[in-house]
Amino acid sequence: MCSISDLRFLLSILLLSFAFSASSQIKHGLYDAQGRHIVPRGFVINTNDHAGEVFFNSNDYSRMVKMGANTQVVRLELGKLSDFPGGKLEPKYLLKLDSLVNYGKYRGIKTVFKMTVYGIEKFVWEHFWLNKKNEHKTYIDAWKVIWNRYSNNISVLGYDVVNEPRKLSMDITYKKLTDNYLIPLYRKIIDESQKINPNKKILLQSIFMNKGEAIDNNQYAEITTPVNRKNIIFAPHIYQDKIEYIEPVMNRFDKESDMLEAPILIGEWGFPTFASTDTLIDGRLGQLKYRALYIKTAEVFDKMGVGSIKAWFLGNRSMQNFLPGGPSTWAIFSDKTDAGTVERKYITDIISRPFPQAIAGRIHSFLFNHATRTLHLKIKADNSKGASEIFVGADRHYPDGFSVVINEDFIMYYNPLKNVGLEVYKCPENGNPSDFIWDSSTQKLIILKWPEGQQNFNIEIVPGIRNFD
């Protein structure tokens, strides 16, 4: 049972939302082939873990969709795609990747592939950077298997080409390693990729600093040199456990994004949970601390308008023991199965918060207020771009129903007891309620067309069936 002090702590967490404004404009946006402003959100998908191979099925992807996923990042194993020592191209592995892409495709989930260095005898970063045995070509050849296979697959968004590159024992500064080795390698990889699939996005990361060498609690070295290539996305990771550093770290990423002229997609996020967290409620290392940490991170993401990919959509099959707090995991489920079913709801309710997935036009700002369970959204609509999609997650966030308020003069509501779709409370002359569809299977509000005669809309999704009189 929570103590009075714990309840006060939780209240202070929720009140963080009241002090936060969504008034700032989103600087960088991602747009799909239709020209819709999109916010990618989803999960890292492992093909193996410390306990062995991981398998998913179509039901797992349906669950992802109901948690707000529209993007998956599939971790590739270098050892199953390359000729590095101990590695070999495995055709069965490619079929497994096909199945993951298709599971996502059939449910509206785009795929990003991320290369990890697992599965080979030993990957030595210094050897890789120095490239004395033409390691770059071997690495790029592994990528070419993927590029050629998915070049015409429109559900594959792009490629995260070097995951958490390292310095380790090299006698070199992080800046020189970045400028003299990482950036030239990125240019080489991008140029080779764009010969095969020029319209795919290339995701870029920065150097993962050695343990104990973090700057302002940020373990990722700053990029200060432009890559000077098109179709790139800056995909930093943030595993921040100190709430006061979340905004400074994201502000630095924003600065790098400006310099790179690349929108941000947070490639991985979410400080791992300790074995004790599932039973410990209080604000030290317990669930209340994680709730506060994740809420603050989510609010900063929303304010900046960036997409984010949570590690991992996985059951608790194994724990790692590299943090002072003891065994920990990034798995969002606590049961010991591949995909998992028992949510760590103190984090999943925040991961799966309402947000605009795709807007025909431009998103000016959005924010989900965890204290009031209200999504605030400002857009400039362009109906020529097609339909818009807003993830609501009503089963999770609005079991008592929800109301949709547009510019204060267009009000619809959903009553789960009646289950007849959206009902109308108030509608202007230029509004058409039939253009607004509630899809309970995906937990999305789909807007076929915004009201004619205006472009700027303030939208709120609020809990309950309000008495607007």
For residue 164, the model assigns a pLDDT of 97
Question: Residue 234: which pLDDT band, with cuts at 50, 70 and 90?
Answer: very high
Per-residue pLDDT at 17 exceeds 50: no
Contacts of 324 (CB under 8 A, 6+ apart): none
Question: Residue 208: which pLDDT band, with cuts at 50, 70 and 90?
Answer: very high
Query: Mean pLDDT over residues 92-102, rounded?
Result: 98
For residue 7, the model assigns a pLDDT of 46
Could you tell me the two tokens for 366? 């959005």
Burial class from Cβ neighbours inside 10 Å (0-12, 13-18, 19+) for residue 327 reads middle
Q: What percent of the chain has pLDDT over 90?
A: 84
Q: How far apart are CA 285 and CA 454, in angstroms?
A: 49
**Highest CATH level, class, for 39-353:** alpha beta
For residue 467, the model assigns a pLDDT of 56
CA 353 from centre of chain:
12
Q: How far apart are CA 37 and CA 100, in angstroms?
A: 25
pLDDT in tens, 42-96: 999 999 988 889 999 999 999 999 999 999 999 999 999 999 999 999 999 999 9
pLDDT in tens, 127-152: 999 999 999 999 999 999 999 999 99
Question: Residue 18: which pLDDT band, with cuts at 50, 70 and 90?
Answer: very low
Question: Residue 9: which pLDDT band, with cuts at 50, 70 and 90?
Answer: very low
Domain with CATH 3.20.20.80 in the chain: 39-353
Question: Residue 445: which pLDDT band, with cuts at 50, 70 and 90?
Answer: very high
Burial class from Cβ neighbours inside 10 Å (0-12, 13-18, 19+) for residue 5 reads exposed
- Residue 303's Cβ-side half-sphere holds a number of Cα atoms within 13 Å equal to 19
Q: Which of 11, 32, 8, 16 is nearest to 367 (CA)?
A: 16
**Distances in whole angstroms, Cα of residue 20 to Cα of each of 85, 366, 376:** 52, 11, 11
- Per DSSP, what are the bridge partners of residue 424? 412
Inter-residue contact 314 to 331 (CB < 8 Å): yes
For residue 27, the model assigns a pLDDT of 77
Query: Mean pLDDT over residues 391-410, rounded?
Result: 96
Per-residue pLDDT at 266 exceeds 80: yes
pLDDT in tens, 331-354: 999 999 988 999 999 999 999 999
Kindly compute the dihedral angle of the four CA atoms of residues 83, 205, 326, 214, in this order, to the nearest 10 degrees. Answer: 130
For residue 297, the model assigns a pLDDT of 98
Query: Mean pLDDT over residues 362-373, rounded?
Result: 97
Average pLDDT in the chain: 93
Per-residue pLDDT at 361 exceeds 60: yes
> Are β-strands 374-381 and 361-369 bridged in parallel, bridged antiparallel, or unpaired?
antiparallel
For residue 3, the model assigns a pLDDT of 52
For residue 28, the model assigns a pLDDT of 76
Domain with CATH 2.60.40.1180 in the chain: 1-38+354-469
For residue 280, the model assigns a pLDDT of 84
Query: Mean pLDDT over residues 256-266, rounded?
Result: 97
CA 273 from centre of chain:
18
Q: What percent of the chain has pLDDT over 70?
A: 93
Per-residue pLDDT at 19 exceeds 50: no
**Highest CATH level, class, for 1-38+354-469:** mainly beta
